[in-house]
Chain A
Amino acid sequence: MNPARLSGRMKTVSMADRTLKKEDLGKLIDSVRAKGGRFVAPALLARQVVFRSVKSAEEVATGYILARNSFKEFLFPQTEVIAEFSMNKDSVGLKGVEVDAPETVVFGARPCEAASLKGLRTLFTWDFVDEFYTKREDKTVVITVGCTSGDEACFCTTVDLSPESTEGADVYLRETEDNGYTVKGLTEKGKKFLDTHDAVFTSGAAKERPLFKPETVPAVDLKRVSERLKDRAHYDDPVWAKLTMKCIGCGACTFVCPTCRCFDITDEGTAFEGERRKNWDSCQYDAFTLHASGHNPREHQPQRWRNRFMCKFNFYPEKFSSKGCVGCGRCIRVCPVRLDITEVMQEFSK
């Protein structure tokens, strides 16, 4: 941990319209669940904090920096059935599948990761509306909590976000000195949510804890990064191999990343009956671009890494005017070879 990078404190502004007492979090969970909704929050599982569906306030983790996984899996599950098929001598049966989209509250997300929703939405509605995503997102209320701690992997401020940003969130909370929260409704959806569960909230002044603000990564210039990536000349630059040769192609970075959303379609079952599934996939895998002919346009791992970086700092901003990277640092924390995306950002800022 490098405290120097985390020491910048932010001003405490109160813009809240409600407060949530620590002891009332359970009531909020009950209130959501009583209406048939699921309450997703950071909770301990196998010695680490991850987003999961919880039933009580006791399960909700405190003192975490951010969950190991992103909450995207509640909008875009790792695996889901999208159609069913059957076949016999005289007929072929194809059956669509109803999207399983329960009312969902994502509680305790961080401001960085909420900002990933815009990019996900744009992608899943690009030339085709993927209802498996949109219907779920429509029914999800995202409640972010401003960060009061961080670690050396956090770099939201380098990608123009901060623990104060509200992009993608429906409700924004700030921790208070008495372990409760101040509450601010941001979107129509968020305000409606607060009204629906109004009985749980209180009003009145509360002292907010100061936010932690990670220092920006030195010598990173996003404009320059994007300029350099637009120029085809970088394509075969030996610098890719130099920086990313150590990547083992495990794909863990893409699976925990809130903005990564590549998937594969696969059929399971027998030849006569089965289901079609949509499963997470990763551009870091060698089979990701493997053609049926046996040709693979991205044969080397650094080429796959180049794609990941291009996707985040060129394709997303250019094509979808949205952030491909929100600076949550998950990919850095999870990487077994400690490949740090900000070091690549520095290189391409030159």
Chain B
Amino acid sequence: MENILRQKAKELLSSGEVKVVIGYGWNRAKTRTTPVFITDAADTDQLVWNPLCVNNLSVYLTRKFKDIQALGKPAIVAKGCDIRNIAVLISEAQIKREDVYIIGMACQGVVYKQELWQGELKPNIMPTKCHNCDVRDPHLSDFVAGEKADFTPPEEPVGMVFDKIRDLDSKSPSERWAFWVKEFSRCIKCYACRQVCSLCYCERCITEKNMPQWIETSAHPRGNLSWNLIRAMHLTGRCTFCGECERACPVNIPLNLVNQKMIMVVKDAFDFKSGYDEKAHPPMIVFSPDDKENFIK
């Protein structure tokens, strides 16, 4: 598959159809993958594909990466779950479908965090998204590398995201509140969760609006709570559960619990799941005159 990927990248760059291929390469010690931006057809052998390819590279399609945009039309190496974010970006008019070439990867799953890798992809080191994956055959792609993945997702080990959500749901509101206040108390307001998320693309985040200061920037319990609630609300109905925010959080706040819970709420209320159809708009950002709710009229 790696060879098919490299071959395709080479073709795209040599023909000039794209100017840069955004993909995965090795770090110096070849122990971790890291994003690479290949602009020369001679360098396509740097591209790799393996279960350590965890990053959702779609973040590099957003406006803040000016140096990448300056390179010209990109091709992006994307797993089905990453493509869901690209679909949201298209539906929210952040990119045009024709402005990106999507190399979809038929996928067998990835590790939750690269540090966990010991040479074998076992269910207990995979993220919940992989246990429940329905996009291993990547959608919306211009080209798919690899055979259609006929792989069945492994049984979800106990104690993963859905179990935890069930457990939290069974608690009283005050217990749930206490749980989240405690988890958020560790937040250091680094905003890694925001920066790594391709759907947090606002050029000026509400946390940076300081006249007046809408969200307190201090990492005290009040400020942490307001930030984490805002993040949850701004992603509701849009978040694809790609898990990048939780992976990037340096203090291990279980952001995936928030993300998945909001996904479940939106599914119940609007029968909507983001990232499958690039023409469908997430429910929280559309206004429809024949909405059955009338509070806004």
Q: Which residues of A contact B (CB under 8 A)?
A: 1-2, 5, 45-48, 50, 68-69, 78-79, 152, 241, 245-246, 248-252, 255-256, 264, 266-268, 277, 279-280, 282, 285-287, 299-302, 333-334, 336-340, 342-343
Partner of B252 from A46, A256, A280, A339 at Cβ < 8 Å: A46
Which of A5, A245, A264, A287 counts the most chain B CB atoms within 10 A? A245
B220 within 8 A of A: yes
A339 to chain B, nearest CB (A): 7
Output the nearest chain A residue to B207 by Cβ-Cβ distance. A287
B74 to chain A, nearest CB (A): 12
B153 within 8 A of A: no
The 0/1 profile, CB within 8 Å of A marked 1, for residues 44-81 of chain B is 00000000000100011000111110000000000000
Residues A78 and B219 in contact in the complex (CB < 8 Å), given A46-B186, A241-B67, A336-B196: yes
The 0/1 profile, CB within 8 Å of A marked 1, for residues 252-271 of chain B is 11000000000000000000
Partner of A336 from B31, B37, B248 at Cβ < 8 Å: B248
Whole-angstrom distance between the alpha carbons of A45 and B66 in the complex?
Answer: 38
Residues of A within 8 Å of B114, CB to CB, are 338
B192 within 8 A of A: yes
Output the nearest chain B residue to A78 by Cβ-Cβ distance. B219
Cβ–Cβ contact B219 & A252, under 8 A: no
The 0/1 profile, CB within 8 Å of A marked 1, for residues 90-115 of chain B is 00000000000000000000000011
Partner of B29 from A152, A251, A286, A333 at Cβ < 8 Å: A152
Residues of A within 8 Å of B228, CB to CB, are none
Cβ–Cβ contact B247 & A336, under 8 A: yes
Residues of A within 8 Å of B29, CB to CB, are 2, 5, 152
Cβ–Cβ contact A251 & B217, under 8 A: no
Whole-angstrom distance between the alpha carbons of A257 and B253 in the complex?
Answer: 20
The 0/1 profile, CB within 8 Å of A marked 1, for residues 15-49 of chain B is 00000000000011101111111000000000000
Cβ–Cβ contact A279 & B250, under 8 A: no
Residues of B within 8 Å of A79, CB to CB, are 218-220, 223
Residues A245 and B37 in contact in the complex (CB < 8 Å), given A68-B250, A251-B191, A255-B250: yes
B288 within 8 A of A: no
Cβ–Cβ contact B217 & A279, under 8 A: yes
Residues of A within 8 Å of B27, CB to CB, are 338, 340, 343
Residues of B within 8 Å of A256, CB to CB, are 250
Total CB contacts across the A-B interface at under 8 A: 112
Cβ–Cβ contact A279 & B190, under 8 A: no
Residues of A within 8 Å of B28, CB to CB, are 340, 342-343
Residues of A within 8 Å of B220, CB to CB, are 79
- Interface residues on chain B, number (Cβ under 8 Å): 46
Cβ–Cβ contact B65 & A245, under 8 A: yes
B146 to chain A, nearest CB (A): 24
Whole-angstrom distance between the alpha carbons of A45 and B209 in the complex?
Answer: 32
Residues of A within 8 Å of B178, CB to CB, are none
B172 within 8 A of A: no
Output the nearest chain B residue to A270 by Cβ-Cβ distance. B212
Partner of B250 from A152, A252, A337 at Cβ < 8 Å: A252
Can you list 17 pairs linking A and B with CB atoms under 8 Å apart? Answer: A45-B186, A46-B186, A46-B251, A78-B189, A152-B29, A152-B31, A245-B65, A245-B68, A246-B35, A250-B191, A251-B190, A266-B210, A266-B216, A266-B218, A286-B64, A336-B247, A336-B248
Cβ–Cβ contact B66 & A250, under 8 A: no
Residues of A within 8 Å of B67, CB to CB, are 241, 245, 300-302
B188 within 8 A of A: yes
B288 to chain A, nearest CB (A): 35
Partner of A248 from B31, B183, B195 at Cβ < 8 Å: B195
Whole-angstrom distance between the alpha carbons of A249 and B183 in the complex?
Answer: 24
Cβ–Cβ contact B186 & A248, under 8 A: no
A240 to chain B, nearest CB (A): 9
A301 to chain B, nearest CB (A): 7
Residues A255 and B190 in contact in the complex (CB < 8 Å), given A79-B219, A248-B196, A279-B217: yes
Output the nearest chain A residue to B114 by Cβ-Cβ distance. A338
Partner of B34 from A1, A285, A337 at Cβ < 8 Å: A337
Residues of B within 8 Å of A69, CB to CB, are 250
B278 within 8 A of A: no
Cβ–Cβ contact B65 & A301, under 8 A: yes
B244 within 8 A of A: yes
Output the nearest chain B residue to A343 by Cβ-Cβ distance. B28
A261 to chain B, nearest CB (A): 14
A343 to chain B, nearest CB (A): 6
Cβ–Cβ contact A266 & B252, under 8 A: no
Whole-angstrom distance between the alpha carbons of A266 and B228 in the complex?
Answer: 20
Residues of B within 8 Å of A302, CB to CB, are 67
Partner of B37 from A246, A249, A287, A299 at Cβ < 8 Å: A246
Cβ–Cβ contact A48 & B195, under 8 A: no
B142 within 8 A of A: no
Cβ–Cβ contact B190 & A282, under 8 A: yes
Closest 9 CB pairs of A and B: A250-B192, A250-B195, A336-B248, A338-B34, A79-B218, A46-B252, A246-B35, A78-B219, A248-B195
Cβ–Cβ contact A250 & B252, under 8 A: no
Whole-angstrom distance between the alpha carbons of A299 and B208 in the complex?
Answer: 16
Cβ–Cβ contact B55 & A268, under 8 A: no
Residues of B within 8 Å of A246, CB to CB, are 34-37, 60
B213 within 8 A of A: yes
Whole-angstrom distance between the alpha carbons of A48 and B115 in the complex?
Answer: 12
Whole-angstrom distance between the alpha carbons of A337 and B57 in the complex?
Answer: 10
Output the nearest chain B residue to A337 by Cβ-Cβ distance. B35
A280 to chain B, nearest CB (A): 7
B213 to chain A, nearest CB (A): 7
Cβ–Cβ contact B196 & A250, under 8 A: yes
Cβ–Cβ contact B195 & A266, under 8 A: no
Which of A1, A5, A248 counts the most chain B CB atoms within 10 A? A248
Residues of B within 8 Å of A45, CB to CB, are 186
A276 to chain B, nearest CB (A): 11
B98 to chain A, nearest CB (A): 24
